[in-house]
Structure 1
Amino acid sequence: MTILLLSAAVPHATTDLARHRAVHGALPAIGRRDADALIAAVDAAGLRGRGGAGFPTARKLAAVAGARKPVVVVNGTEGEPASSKDRLLLGRQPHLVLDGAVTAARAVGAAEIVLVAPAVTHAALARAVDDRTARDEPDVRLVAAAEGYVAGEETAVLAHVEGRPAVPRLAPPRPAERGLFGRPTLVQNVETLAHLGLIARYGPEWFRGAGTPERPGTTLVSVSGAVARRGVHEVPVGLPVDEVLRLAGGPSEPTRALLVGGYFGAWVDGAARPALTDRDLRPHGASVGAGVVIALGATACPVRTVARLASWMSGQSAGQCGSCVNGLAAIAGVLVRLADGDGTPDDLGLLTRWIAMVDSRGACAHPTGTVRMIASAAALFADELEDHAHHGRCATCAAAPIDARERVAA
């Protein structure tokens, strides 16, 4: 198995600067004249963002490079509840993240780095920043990340750093044009920057030694649900999902479905087991996204599971538009009624109609991403939804002990 990001990792401990440099060596010096060559190398490497959207990293760098007083913001908010990869890197591989942030700052000409991360990681990060005594490195400021799903969206991160509520704003202007306190801003995910620091050392061909031609490199995948061992695993992009589950000790029971890509992802039939690439996942309506795989076991009612997810996502609305505040609440309400056995066949029609009404509307991607996940569930779990609508429960519910059939609404 190819290991790039975690090659210097020490089990259950933070990798210090000495070990980090013993494995990877010192970060190469990058002057202003080298910036264009570095961005070209990142472009040749094919690095794409690992935060969910998969945007080409070189294009983000180029959009800020040469601007007046740019700033680099490291986005370690990780609002996706099923993901823990960024917290793992921040807590155990802080120097790799800092290498990437420094590389990005040198590429765009920034003298300041703002590192937004959960407070639990700040002790390790502060020690790592203090250990780095190079005079030519930009200043690093730590900011505790805001909580909430939408708080990880890049404009919400910037709003939080500015002292405002961590909610997304309408774009344009994009952060590259007018970001933190009006300055041109590069916002990059933690894992993306960790890869960037390695590409600066080893070059694009080395990076392309793993993954696929379309999506080179490795990716960190947070695996949870009905598996033997929940956790984060580094895998080459393109690894079959079967192999990802095997790294987690294998399924703990027969797999009914997989939620791939996180709460903004899509449900995939458990028998399909595609490769972990956007191309292979696209026929299933899914993408790699934030690198999340959740296994739904055969003993779990899918209607109840989706109702819980929909209710949680409805509660994460930024409250900026009706399609999100009212639409998601209405859809979650239908799913909860069906899950609790209080629904009717008419609710299935409401569910279909309201999903279409909410899709692609709103001030940010929250309603669209949420209904994408729900729509994929409605298609994959159509039989179970029909059973709940007509009989109040499905075969899985009927087989569960009575004390396990708690109401979702409770």
Structure 2
Amino acid sequence: MIPYRVSKVRRLGPARLTAGLDEHRRLDLDAHRSLHGEPPAAPADSLITMAEDVDLRGRGGAAFPFARKLRAVAAKSRSSETIVLVNGAEGEPASMKDKTLLTRTPHLVLEGALLAAGALNARQVVVAVAAGDLAEASVTAAVAERDLHGVVRVAGIPERFISGESGALIKAVNGEAGIPPGRKTRSSDSGVDGLPTLLSNTETFAQLAVLAELGPDDYASVGTVQEPGTILLTVGGSAVFPAVVEVTPGVPLPAVLDMCEAAIGDGVLVGGYHGAWLPAAEAYGAVVSRRGIAQAGGELGAGIVVPLGGETCPLGETLRVARYLAEQSAGQCGPCRLGLPDLARAFAELTGGATNGAELVRQAAAAVRGRGACFHPDGSARFVLSAIEAFADDVEEHRAHGTCGRPVLEMLPLPASERAETRLAVDWSRCEAHGLCAHLAPDLIKLDKHGFPVVAEGGVPPWLAGQARKAIEMCPALALRPTHG
């Protein structure tokens, strides 16, 4: 028996995707069958009709109609072998819902994928997960429990922020570098092994299994008319009880946060690191649904909800992630390779109190939007720009005083490897205010009104490592040094 570590699960509404997880750390095949039974096989036309009846959308962020994907691959299945690909590569650090499904209720995900594979007469189901993750172990065990070796392949791939992008995922599964391709090709035309591929994310296939189990009418008995069923959210940040929460669309966002004892504070990030910040006033009135979050000024995306609380610097938090997003570039186009570091530098200027900081950020964002080989530059720009609007008071506070006076508490999660970063520290017993460090590392160090160095919050990003090294080596008083952690 694998000793699974598990994510906490909470609910506002019926337990569908999370059924049984109060009693079981992980649902093996017998426990799964006792809760969900075994859905009958369904032809492609029936699955398409059911998906259309409830407007089932992809749950990976783009909310693309699942029936359209299914129809496109079904048309190709008449003349070609096909593949079903489950996107479990949850590279978004703030999301845990797909890992939770794959780790704790893997058979529900497999059920949906196998239903689709049967309808398409697919050659194989491929489940792509982060290599070495608990989810990989859980799904591998589930395949063995069903004796599906050869029918289902578990593909462990390197995990990066962009690893879940469809083109990058397919390349990784095919044994290539997992970066977005320069030329976009629909997976329904050419995907795994060059075959037409039905690609959707983990929660989408779990939703398909629930839909087939309940039927469209019962499935749509909860939620809203426009968005029936339930959805999964990952609630973190200031939450006392961070959790994956299953909710029915239409519930107030504050009710979800109250359940997790999360303070809104300055605002809430929705949709993850390609999403947007909601200022507190908008967050208090927001409704959890694609439409409700859009009306509040955000995007539900993959269901990531990160309330900030009021103890941390929101601009410093945003800067940490802006630097991380720049480092996650595939490095194959100018807007990513050059533009995102420029955007992070501009946001550092704003955080440091530059008078024209907001304008610098807008200019840097304009230089990358709509010009990348994938959505990464656009999503990163949207995230950063939303911070200027949501935290306008803090922008003014930093402009006036160089800081808001609050520390950066790292409320926004980053991978452990990203947190163990190099930082600059000043030995104040040695510093003599020569000012040379600010000249050599202008993106990392400013001088206060007395000429003493003020080091930027956060670590030293790779593209500024040269500046940091020169400043350390050339400090006349040997007062500047690197630290790690």
Residue from 69, 76, 86 that aligns with 1:74: 86
Of 104, 123, 131, 2:145 maps to 131
| Cα separation, 1, equivalents of 2:87 and 2:399 | 42
Which among 356, 360, 366 is matched to residue 366 of structure 2?
A: 356
Structure 1 pair 93–226 and aligned structure 2 pair: CA distance change class (3 A) = same
SS at 1:142 equivalent: strand
The residue aligned with 2:266 is 256
Q: Give the CA deviation at 1:366.
A: 0.2
Q: 2:391 aligns with which of 357, 367, 381?
A: 381
CA distance in 2, matches of 1:45, 1:374: 34
TM-fit CA distance, 1:125: 1.4
Match for residue 315 of structure 2? 303
C-alpha contact 2:358 2:388 (8 A) present in aligned 1: no
Deviation at 1:172, TM superposition (A): 4.1
Alignment of 1:50-129 (within 5 A): 50-67=59-76, 68-118=80-130, 119=132, 120-129=134-143
Q: 2:247 aligns with which of 207, 220, 235?
A: 235
Q: Deviations over 1:356-382 (max 9, x none)?
A: 222222000000001111111111112
- The worse-fitting range, judged by mean Cα deviation, of 224-233 and 113-122 is 113-122
Query: In structure 2, what is the equivalent of residue 277 of structure 1?
Result: 289
Identical positions, percent: 39
**How far apart are residue 66 of structure 1 and its match?**
3.7
- In structure 2, the residue matched to 1:17 is 29
Match of 1:45 in 2: 54
- How far the C-alpha of 1:117 sits from its partner, in A, is 1.3
The offset of 1:319, in angstroms, is 0.8
Task: Encode CA deviations 1:39-74: one digit per residue, 9 max, x unaligned.
Answer: 111111211111110011111111101421010111
| Matched letter for residue 192 of structure 1 | T
Could you list the per-position Cα deviations for residues 263-286 of structure 1 after superposition, in whole angstroms to 9, with x for gaps in the alignment?
111100123220012222223331
Q: Deviations over 1:327-357 (max 9, x none)?
A: 1101111222333x3x421332211212122
SS at match of 1:222: strand
Residues 124-164 of structure 1: CA deviation (Å, up to 9, x unaligned): 21221122148xx9800111132111111111111001111
Q: How far, CA to CA, are the matches of 2:15 and 2:299 in structure 1? A: 22
Out of 208, 215, 219, the residue aligned to residue 207 of structure 1 is 219
- Counterpart Cα distance in 2 of 1:319 and 1:133: 41
Equivalent of residue 391 in structure 1, options 397, 401, 420: 401
| Contact 2:168–2:180 (8 Å) recurs in 1 | yes
**Structure with larger Rg:** 2
- Residue 366 of structure 2 corresponds to residue 327 of structure 1: no
* Structure 1 Cα separation of the partners of residues 264 and 45 of structure 2: 51
Which ranges of structure 2 fall in alignment gaps of 5 or more residues?
A: 1-12, 409-425, 427-454, 461-485
By relative contact order (CA 8 Å, sep 6+), the higher-ranking structure is: 1
What SS does the aligned partner of 1:144 have? Answer: strand
* DSSP-derived class of the 2:190 partner: coil
CA gap of 1:212–1:95, structure 2 versus 1, over 3 A, is: same
Q: Does 2:305 correspond to 1:293?
A: yes
Q: Is the 8 A contact 1:348 1:389 kept in 2?
A: no
- Structure 2 residue identity aligned to 1:58: A
Letter in 1 for 2:321: L
Equivalent in the alignment of 1:176: 188
2:346, 2:199 → 1: CA distance? 37
Cα distance in 2 between the residues matched to 1:38 and 1:407:
51
**Is the Cα–Cα contact under 8 Å of residues 52 and 288 in structure 1 kept in the other structure?**
yes
CA distance in 2, matches of 1:254, 1:43: 36
**Alpha-carbon contact 1:262-1:292 (below 8 Å) kept:** yes
Letter in 1 for 2:372: G
1-side partners of 2:138 and 2:291: how far apart?
Answer: 37
Amino acid corresponding to residue 283 of structure 1 in structure 2: Q
Deviations 1:168-199 (A, max 9, x none): 12454311011122110111100000010111
Q: What residue identity is the alignment partner of 1:271? A: A
For residues 296 and 110 of structure 2, the distance between their equivalents in structure 1, rounded to whole angstroms, comes to 36
Give yes or no for the alignment of 1:407 onto 2:457: yes
Distance 1:388 1:58 in 2: 48
**Aligned-residue RMSD, C-alpha:** 2.1
- Per the TM alignment, residue 225 of structure 1 is displaced from its structure 2 partner at its CA by 0.7
Rounded Cα–Cα distance in structure 2 between residues aligned with 1:325 and 1:70: 35
TM-score (normalised: structure 2)? 0.78
Q: Which amino acid aligns with 2:382?
A: R
> Is contact 2:331-2:337 (8 Å) kept?
yes
Q: Is the 8 A contact 1:5 1:194 kept in 2?
A: yes
SS of the residue aligned with 2:224? coil
Matched AA of 1:345: T
